[in-house]
Amino acid sequence: MSIPTHFNSGRSGQGAAYVSDHEGSEHARFMRLSSYALAPLGVLSAWWLAGLVGETLEGAKAEIGRPFPAIVLICFAIIGMIHARQGMTEIIEDYVHDAALKEKALHWNRIGSIAIAAAWTFGIMLIAAPK
């Protein structure tokens, strides 16, 4: 979805590099929407995890093993890591100027975020799985 504007900068040539091309609008929209999703997911996750303080191991497993808390924790992990990955990608693109180093950093950012989200999801699924 794009909103047309009637703004023309009148710049061409050397100064055209400073005119916005709206490249970041999709990123900004994604970050805003994922933030809206992370706010209630984060509150629910913190509430459930804080509620486990003082519980026995079996009680904690039973609480996390219920479908709704497990789904909320997994959604929080996945959306949170996608959000974090996008943020780190923007930081890397803005502040790493060496092309080879930038590619390596972007690659390891992708690998690391997938590994963290997968470990969190796998851990919750192991806890929630019926024995």
Residue with tokens 């497993």: 61
* C-alpha R_g of the chain: 21
Q: How far is CA 27 from CA 78, 81, 88, 104, in A?
A: 17, 15, 12, 21
pLDDT 10s digits, 22-45 = 556 787 888 999 999 999 999 999
Question: Where are the chain's structural domains?
Answer: 23-128
Q: How far apart are CA 25 and CA 18, in angstroms?
A: 16
pTM score: 0.75
Domain 23-128 has CATH 2.40.360: no
pLDDT (mean) for 111-117: 96
Sign (positive or negative) of CA dihedral 50, 53, 81, 130: negative
